[in-house]
């Protein structure tokens, strides 16, 4: 049986434990989370375990990435069961920072990523990546990991963090973990627990529409036409609103011009179902 993780809420204890492990030559891998952990998070933890001797997971519902009116207060907080799940995975350290220690009353610094962080999510959640970039920078500075794992479900977030780390010369390997899905293909998300039975059935249509759309693009269909039809199919399936169905270049998320794809790309979707905003994405495997 795995030994219990070291749980700390203070930066001092965190630093003490990390420097002890570093002194013994251990590598540290890190999985930042907002808690409400599900199987998807645990796949990130498993990947982190493969990369280093020590695995650190943080649990922090980051207020700066929620806009006024978003679900910050309602965001599920399940600390006890999160700790149990992480302990069962053999996590070495769980860091649950005190919110006041993250953003004190004098906090005045922002971290803004351009390029990959423009468009898509930012068109609908203009301050989201500023909040993510800020908290991830702070957590990286506190944990000082060798590697950090992020899910491909938040594909634009992953691309934004890769950019941030490259641009600011942070010596951290960023690892993307494939999307974990339920048996109906729905991407696992902490927000799935908001759904009733009917909402869940509608939500599970998202991935079917997305994969069908990607297949059409792979077969040479005009990208804009395929995306328009996918958006219509989502509304027909019961989604109330579609924020975007968009295909971008695979790594830099550059906007694609010209209708038909000629390089491996990524199809990204955000849509609303029963008051819950869902995002998903998949590869569009076009030969160069
Ligand atoms: O993906 C998330 O859960 C969050 O955006 C992250 C990376 C933990 C930052 O708060």
Within this chain, do residues 79 and 11 fall inside the same structural domain, yes or no? yes
For residue 219, give the CATH number of its domain: 3.30.1300.10
Specify if 183 maps to a domain: no
Q: What is the number of structural domains in the chain? A: 2
Same domain flag for 195 and 171: no
Q: Does residue 1 form part of some domain?
A: no
The last residue of a domain, from among 177, 202, 233: 177
Residues 33 and 169 in one domain: yes
What CATH number does residue 36 fall under? Answer: 3.40.50.620
Q: What is the CA radius of gyration of the chain?
A: 19
Q: Cite the active site residues.
A: 41
* Residues 198 and 73 both lie in one domain: no
135 lines ligand 1 (CB under 6 A): yes
pLDDT tens digits for 72-127?
A: 999 999 999 999 999 999 999 999 999 999 999 999 999 999 999 999 999 999 99
Phi-psi region for residue 240, left (φ > 0), alpha (ψ -120 to 50) or beta? alpha
Domain encompassing residue 215? 190-283
pLDDT (tens digit per residue) in 236-282:
999 999 999 999 999 999 988 888 898 999 999 999 999 999 999 99
Choosing from 177, 203, 220, the residue where a domain stops is: 177
Q: How far is CA 188 from CA 252, 258, 278, in A?
A: 25, 33, 10
Task: Report pTM.
Answer: 0.97
15 and 148: one domain?
A: yes
Q: Cα 66 vs. chain centroid, distance in angstroms?
A: 14
Nearest atom within ligand 1 for CA of residue 136:
9
Give the end of a domain, one of 122, 150, 177.
177
Closest protein CA for atom 1 of ligand 1 = 33
* Residue 184 belongs to a domain: no
| CA separation for the pair 60, 32 (Å, rounded) | 8
Are residues 147 and 21 located together in one domain of the fold?
yes
If one counts every other C-beta atom within 10 angstroms of the C-beta of residue 247, the result is 22
């Amino acid at each position: 049986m795995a030994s219990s993780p070291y749980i700390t809420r203070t930066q001092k204890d965190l630093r003490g434990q990390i420097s002890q492990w570093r002194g013994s030559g251990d590598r540290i891998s890190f999985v930042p989370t907002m808690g409400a952990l599900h199987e998807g998070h645990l796949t990130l933890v498993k990947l982190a375990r493969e990369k280093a001797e020590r695995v650190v997971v943080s649990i922090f519902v980051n207020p700066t990435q929620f806009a006024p009116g978003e679900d910050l207060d309602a965001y599920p907080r399940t600390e006890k069961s999160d700790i149990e799940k992480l302990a069962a995975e053999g996590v070495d350290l769980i860091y649950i920072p005190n919110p006041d220690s993250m953003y004190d009353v004098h906090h005045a610094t922002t971290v803004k990523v351009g390029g990959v962080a423009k468009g898509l999510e930012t068109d609908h959640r203009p301050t989201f990546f500023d909040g993510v970039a800020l908290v991830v920078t702070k957590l990286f500075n506190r944990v000082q990991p060798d590697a950090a794992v992020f899910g491909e479900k938040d594909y634009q977030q992953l691309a934004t963090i890769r950019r941030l780390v490259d641009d600011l010369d942070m010596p951290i390997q960023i690892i993307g973990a494939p999307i974990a899905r339920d048996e109906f293909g729905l991407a696992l998300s902490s927000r799935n627990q908001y759904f009733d039975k009917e909402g869940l059935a509608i939500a599970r249509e998202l991935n079917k529409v997305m994969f069908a759309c990607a297949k059409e693009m792979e077969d040479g269909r005009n990208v804009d036409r395929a995306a328009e039809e996918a958006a219509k199919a989502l509304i027909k399936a019961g989604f109330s609103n579609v924020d975007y169905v968009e295909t971008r270049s695979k790594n830099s998320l550059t906007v694609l011009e010209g209708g038909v794809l000629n390089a491996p790309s990524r199809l990204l979707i955000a849509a609303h179902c029963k008051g819950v905003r869902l995002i998903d994405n998949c590869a569009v495997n076009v030969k160069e």
